[in-house]
Structure 1
Amino acid sequence: MRGAARAITCIENDYPERNQILKELFPHTGRARLIGITGSPGAGKSSLVDCLIGYLRSLEMKIGVVAVDPTSPFTGGALLGDRVRMQNHALDKGVFIRSMGTRGSLGGLSANTRDAVRVLDAYGCDVVLIETVGVGQSELDVMSIADTTAVVLNPGGGDSVQAFKAGIMEIADLFVINKADLPGTEKLQIEVEQMLDLAKHDAPWRPPIVKTVSTSGQGMADLWQQIDRHQQFLHESGEADARRSRHLQEEVLDIVRDRLFQRLQAGIQSGRHAEALERVASRAEDPYSAAERIILQWWGQKS
């Protein structure tokens, strides 16, 4: 997997050959199962992923892991501690673990996560596990990559209603109550069931609830069974192809937006639109009119 490691490094550091690598890899992708593991910080996501890797390796599957850690806004560095929790598999040639810093991205993933996942898919991984940085109420980018998204909760993690605000309920294909040996597990399960009764009562797929104890490996077989059941539902309903098509369309639009922004920013830095910015700074023109003028100028030049 040295080639995969070098390819991801090239992508992360935006080397000149980055785009060519991704273009050549694309025809060889689309085979791996992409599983998102998300949840609040401290829910035990990394330990859960570590246990799940062990279970899937017992089934002789080749596993890729992309684990995202927060990047310091002060130093720009990241601890990348997720890999520390997965040292049991460091020497396993059937497991590839890549830690990535968010580098300023606010969606729970790194800006290059999708491309790293694509590299591991092309290199023959049967399953790619995508562990997010730890969601609050807005870090939902994992749903635009993963086929199946597991939201990890744990007893005593706070008001469960808070966890279901602003999209968390909607992105979950299944819920994992980790640390299920702690008091409060049954109460949390009942609360989740009640939320599902309200939000998913007429949905074609009702997210199951799986209880696990990652420190002992308890519940891994059940977790994988429910993931597998969801994958079967996606294929039988036609949602698998529809979901991946949506993801690819969203990716195209993301790339277009990023490229346009980069070019526009380069124009601003070169002083091309200095006059418009100065007029706004002096309050001679409002920001909206200036923005429209810049867009028209840029578009006219490109057309």
Structure 2
Amino acid sequence: MEDLNKLDKKLDIVNKMLSLAFKLCVVLGGAVLLFYCWGIGYFPQDVSVGDGLLFILLAIAFGGVYMFFVMSLTSLGILLRPLWHRLQRLFLLLLKGYEKVTGKETNYTPFVIEKGGIELLVFAVFGLFFIWWFSLSDIKVLSTLPMCTWGCALLWSSYQQNSREIDQLENKENVTEEETKRLARLNNFQPVALGIMLVIPLLIGGVSGRLLDGAMRLANVRADTATIHIKEPYVKYASEYGLQGLQSNFGSDYSKFEKTSILFNGFGKNIVIEAEGKDGRARLVVPSDHAYIVQR
């Protein structure tokens, strides 16, 4: 009977973890989609029930991919614990020298990165891969993403340290008023720490645009190169933006536009395209029933 109770508790914990992961994926994925739509300056219109379900599925997929990205950077940061602590010791030596020269005392609280297990090695390898892959298109990522690994590892370590202190205070028999206030502050800080850890790579990693674009390509919402056949009167609208089409086999009402980028496709009644015009890149919103996309 006791074994069944333990199994029931474990299953309950797993169920809660899966429920939390599902909610996080939906929230993160939805935020990613909205952030991408904001970036291209277009939000879906006339979304049907089916589109809504597709949105939820894509949100879960995007959220899962992004959480894996954050976990990889965090694991790499934790395994780089000796490096961060050596750099901190060097900083403390410089700080002592500064205090001796200026005669001013500085208030600096040393940080502690938690030790990680061997199970983090797989995620850390992916973290290195992400840094290398993103640096191929932007060398500045070699400075921003390593800082993100440190920030994520620091916040995760703070979360773990605070969790242990919360357990100690909650299990203490006689709690003072100051300890009660301390417990409330720690409980309020925990979700904030996780939230900041999740958004650090997206906000300061320098890869938000490429990360969002890559996620959209995987979902077939975005395509960098495609041929699109557009029907009148949107061919005339395209010409106003300097986009000149070619003769299309779909009929006299259509024009063919080659080497066109599909920025948004799959939700609502419109698609968003971008092509090279006379005055540079131009974007055009076209109803889905007035366009045929050919991808190669």
TM-score range, shorter chain: under 0.3
Query: Which structure has the larger Rg over C-alpha atoms?
Result: 2
Instruction: Give the TM-score, by structure 2 length.
Output: 0.25
Instruction: Give the TM-score, by structure 1 length.
Output: 0.24
